[in-house]
Structures are given as structure tokens and as C-alpha cells.
């Protein structure tokens, strides 16, 4: 088992990475002992892993809630089911919420933990690759609004993240690829050696080689923990973690949540960001092709879907949380392995990039 730490002073917490952690009572530490615990999961994950987690916990009161599965259910309406369950069973302020699932469950259960009685403890047990490398770490919690992704939420750090690599065995291939999008992101924004390692080991990752996956998860979490420790509330460099997300969120909201997976949308979005970086003279065509090659090899889309159109894409990008003073700020590549955030670009270039990438017709 490996342990990493997210260093945030009194809100610091460990990330445990290993095989068999779900059923290992010791991995939960004192957090879930003699406490009231609500496990929040969904109807797909519950039959696979819920009983293992339930048996590992020695809670004074243990309840479980299996929500409907899917990004389209990441809403205030579904989050209210968590509040209803907590209230129905008189959960007190010293209770613990355990989020057992992918990023949708983690974000929603985390949001409920942030808001219930103004904040209760929660543990992240991420079960998708995407959640293991990104969403379970860093304390961003949210639900979607029909007009914008993750628009209603809070910063609320988990007390512990338990990453059991065994659960990836049941993950569908498409979800594995979606997780690789966020893994590749760390290489592109700040870790060129990791990017080169990914290029060399992508096939092993797609074959679910345990050592390769564990290395990719640990390197991703190390990168994320460093960024979050330096900028917890995204006043600076944390925004780099949003490479491709402004374009990607427009794809997700524009198509209807769940049509494209989050990782698919941000993969295409990162390719658009690379093309915009080239259009601004920052990176070469060979760099863009390198980025596209890696996403394509990971089984991810490198172009946005046809049908959205540039005007709708621009409108949706206007809801991005990085918008400042009415200006859409973008994460771009200064070079492969180094990203930066800027609102200082020629709008005509963005309009051209949107026209070239978001076509209305095939």
C-alpha cells in the first residue's frame, strides 16, 4: 500500500492506494469507528462493492443509500435524497458520509457533506479510474445545473481517500479510457516525464496491468495533491487542472449530460486547447499531433461532436467558472508539459477555432 498526503494544514488528509483496501477495516482508520455512517453509492456499484464496505465498518449506526446511476442524476434533486436519508435517521453533526462510487457520487455525496448541518466529515472511496486520479482528491464538490456543469457546489475536503485498485477490474472499457483523459492531463499541464511514461506504457494501461495502473494513479494523485496544496481554492495554478474543460463542459452541457462521458468531452476539449495554442503560435503542429495521437491511442475522441455549432459552444463556455469580468479565460499550452491560464488572447482566434472545431453539420 502507498500513502500520499494532501498538505492543507489542519485539513490535511491521506490518500491510500492499494489492493484490497475496501474490505480492510484498518484502512478506514478511526474515522468510521463508533460513528454514525451513511454510505452513499449508486445502483450499479451497490451490488458489486457495498457489502464489502459495510462489513469493514464498525459504526454505531450504518445506513446505505443507492442513488440512480448517471451524470444526468447529478442534480440538486438527487442530492436532496441524501439530505432526506440523513434527516430521516437523525444523523448528527459528528456523522460520517462515505462516498462509494465514481465522480458523480463523489461530487454529490461531498456536496451533501459540505452542506448538511454546515459541514460533516466524509470519506472518498473512488471506484472509477477518473475518480481515483482526479475527482476524489482536492475537495471540489458540486451538482450540475441544466445550464452549466458543476455550477452549484462547495469546497469541502474529504478526511481520507481510499483507492482500491481491485475495483477497476469491473470498470467498462469506455470508462477506463475516460479516466485516462485526466491522467494524460497531468502530463500535458505540468509533468513531461510522466507524459513520456504514458506514451510508452499506454498499452499496459489499456490491458489493465496492475503495476502500470498503480503507477499512473499514484503519479496522478501526487500531481493533484501538489497543485491543491499550493492553491486549494483555485485563485491561481489550480485552474490548470481545467485544461480542455471549458470546451469539454460546453460539449457535456450542449449534448445533454451523460451523452458523452466527462473524460471523453475533456479529451476532445484538450485537443481543441492544443489547436488554439498552435493558432496563437505557442506550440507546433507536431506538438498538436503528439497530443492527438495519445488521446486517440487511449480510445478517446479528439474532435468535438458534430451538431453543436460554434455559437452554441461560445454561449455555453460563457457559463464557465473561470469567466472573469465577462471574459472567458482559457487554459492553454505554453509547450507540451506546461500549461497556463489566460484571458489575454485575440477573440478572433477563439472564434476561428470554434468555427473549425464545432461544426453544425458533418
CA 112 to chain centre: 17
- Taking a C-beta distance cutoff of 8 angstroms, is the pair 3, 15 a contact? yes
Tell me the closest approach of the beta carbon of residue 83 to ligand GLY, in angstroms. 24
Q: Distance between terminal CA atoms of the chain?
A: 49
**Does residue 182 have an active-site annotation?**
yes
Q: CB within 8 A of 270, min separation 6: which ones? A: 181, 184, 185, 188, 243, 244, 248, 291, 295
Residue whose C-alpha is closest to residue 301's, from 331, 255, 269: 269
- 219 contributes a contact to ligand GLY by CB under 6 A: no
Closer to ligand GLY by CB, 228 or 274: give it.
228
Residue sitting closest to ligand GLY (CB): 241
Shortest approach of ligand NAD to residue 90 CB, angstroms?
29
Contact with ligand GLY (CB under 6 A) among 156, 238, 321, 329: 238
Tell me if residue 224 is catalytic. yes
Sole window of 109-117, 133-141, 257-265, 325-333 interacting with ligand GLY (rule: CB under 6 A): 133-141
Q: Which of 182, 219, 252, 292 is catalytic?
A: 182
Catalytic residue flag (residue 35)? no
Task: Indicate the helix (H) or strand (E) that contains 121.
Answer: strand 121-126
Residues 251 and 304 sit within 8 Å (Cβ to Cβ)? yes
Question: Site residues for ligand NAD, window 158-217 (CB under 6 A)?
Answer: 167, 170-171, 175, 178
- Of the residues 241, 268, 272, 308, which one makes contact with ligand GLY according to CB under 6 A: 241
The SS3 assignment for 313 reads: helix
The DSSP H or E segment spanning 238 is none
Instruction: Select from ligand NAD, ligand GLY, none the partner in contact with residue 238, using the beta carbon and a kind-dependent cut-off of 5 to 8 Å.
Output: ligand GLY
Residue from the set 16, 38, 131, 267 that interacts with ligand NAD by CB under 6 A? 131
Active-site residues: which are they?
118, 140, 182, 224, 234, 238, 242, 245, 249, 262
Amino acid at each position: 500500500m502507498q500513502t500520499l498526503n494532501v498538505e492543507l494544514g489542519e485539513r490535511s488528509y491521506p490518500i491510500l492506494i492499494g489492493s484490497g483496501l475496501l474490505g480492510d477495516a484498518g484502512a478506514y482508520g478511526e474515522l468510521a469507528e463508533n460513528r454514525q455512517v451513511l454510505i452513499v453509492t449508486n445502483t450499479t456499484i451497490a451490488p458489486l462493492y457495498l457489502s464489502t464496505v459495510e462489513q469493514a465498518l464498525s459504526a454505531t449506526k450504518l445506513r446505505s443509500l443507492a442513488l440512480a446511476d448517471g451524470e444526468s442524476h447529478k442534480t440538486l434533486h438527487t442530492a436532496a435524497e441524501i439530505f432526506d436519508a440523513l434527516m430521516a435517521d437523525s444523523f448528527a453533526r459528528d456523522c460520517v458520509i462515505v462516498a462509494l462510487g465514481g465522480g458523480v457520487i463523489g461530487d454529490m455525496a461531498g456536496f451533501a457533506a459540505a452542506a448538511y448541518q454546515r459541514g460533516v466529515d466524509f470519506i472518498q472511496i473512488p471506484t472509477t479510474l477518473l475518480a481515483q486520479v482526479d475527482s476524489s482528491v482536492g475537495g471540489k464538490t458540486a451538482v450540475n445545473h441544466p445550464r452549466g456543469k458543476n455550477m452549484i457546489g462547495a469546497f469541502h475536503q474529504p478526511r481520507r481517500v481510499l483507492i482500491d485498485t481491485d475495483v477497476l477490474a469491473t470498470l467498462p472499457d469506455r470508462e477506463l479510457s475516460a479516466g485516462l483523459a485526466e491522467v494524460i492531463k497531468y502530463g500535458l499541464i505540468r509533468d513531461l516525464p510522466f507524459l513520456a511514461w504514458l506514451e510508452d506504457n499506454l498499452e499496459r494501461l489499456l490491458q489493465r496491468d496492475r503495476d502500470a495502473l498503480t503507477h499512473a494513479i499514484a503519479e496522478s494523485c501526487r500531481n493533484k495533491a501538489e497543485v491543491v496544496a499550493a492553491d486549494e481554492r483555485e485563485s491561481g495554478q489550480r485552474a490548470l487542472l481545467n485544461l480542455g474543460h471549458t470546451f469539454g463542459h460546453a460539449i457535456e452541457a450542449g449534448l445533454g449530460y451523460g451523452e458523452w462521458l466527462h473524460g471523453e468531452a475533456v479529451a476532445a476539449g484538450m485537443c481543441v486547447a492544443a489547436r488554439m495554442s498552435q493558432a496563437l503560435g505557442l506550440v507546433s503542429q507536431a506538438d498538436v499531433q503528439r497530443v492527438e495521437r495519445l488521446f486517440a491511442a487511449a480510445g478517446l475522441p479528439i474532435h468535438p461532436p458534430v451538431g453543436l455549432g460554434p455559437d452554441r459552444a461560445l454561449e455555453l463556455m460563457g457559463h464557465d467558472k473561470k469567466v472573469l469580468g465577462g471574459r472567458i479565460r482559457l487554459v492553454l499550452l505554453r509547450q507540451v508539459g506546461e500549461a497556463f491560464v489566460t484571458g489575454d488572447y485575440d477573440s478572433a482566434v477563439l472564434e476561428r477555432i470554434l468555427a473549425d472545431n464545432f461544426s453544425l453539420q458533418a
